[in-house]
Amino acid sequence: MAGLCSGVAVVTAQRRDGEPCGLLATSVSSFSTAPPSVLTSIGHASRCHRSLIESAEFGVHLLRADQEGLARVFADPVHEAKFGGLDWAWDEAVPELAGALAYLRCRRSALFELYDHSILIGDVEGGRRQPGEPLIYLDRRMDWRVDRAGGGER
Ligand SMILES: Cc1cc2nc3c(=O)[nH]c(=O)nc-3n(C[C@H](O)[C@H](O)[C@H](O)COP(=O)(O)O)c2cc1C
């Protein structure tokens, strides 16, 4: 799977104690178009797992090319204060990080348990998109850059 090129996302939810939680995930994909929904797969070992499967809503943030540092914070299994010092706010019950390439507020519509992961599907109820290039994960690295044939911004 190291040869599969993917975007990089931070998936967030509200914990039972009211605090925000989030983890880095590359297992995010579009699921359906009508209604628009997305899918992600969350490992049972993640400290966010319980919050994500119990919350009615969760957030998906597609990261920008210059957000590798943020990605590493959310991939850290022992970091105790991932949101400390970050620009974020509650969007209903979803922690919304500022500055992502795209943010989707999702309402959980399905949950499947298998092996050591849970698959979450959420209907997209809100969000925003801003200009920029995506952070890309390939060959266990995140330092790739989009180079369009012909160049230029879109
Ligand atoms: C590139 C990359 C992609 C990852 N994708 C996923 C994923 O799709 N699902 C998942 O559960 N964990 C994924 N992880 C692992 C979590 O980000 C990691 O276990 C994190 O520490 C969990 O945070 P938490 O324990 O605070 O919830 C990924 C890690 C990296 C570095």
pLDDT tens digits, 80-138: 999 999 999 999 999 999 999 999 999 999 999 999 999 999 999 999 999 999 999 99
Confirm or reject CATH 2.30.110.10 for domain 7-137, answering yes or no. Answer: yes
Distance 36 CA to ligand 1 centre (A): 24
Q: Which atom of ligand 1 is nearest to the CA of 40?
A: 8
- Residue 63 gets which letter from DSSP? P
Angle (CA) 134-138-71 rounded to 5° is: 55
pTM: predicted TM-score of the whole model, two decimal places: 0.97
Tell me which of 15, 26, 54 to substitute to probe ligand 1's pocket, judged by most ligand atoms within 8 Å of the beta carbon: 26
**Residue 81 in tokens:** 């204060």
pLDDT of res. 150: 73
Q: Which of 24, 38, 74 to mutate to test the pocket of ligand 1 (most atoms within 8 A of CB)?
A: 24
Average pLDDT value over all residues in the chain = 96
CA 118 – CA 42 distance, rounded (Å): 5
Report CA(75)–ligand 1 centroid distance (Å): 5
Residues with CB under 6 A from ligand 1: 23-27, 41-43, 46-48, 75-77, 137
CA 127 to ligand 1 center in whole angstroms: 22
Which pLDDT tens digit goes with each residue over 45-79?
999 999 999 999 999 999 999 999 999 999 999 99
| Residues 132, 102: Cα–Cα separation, whole Å | 9
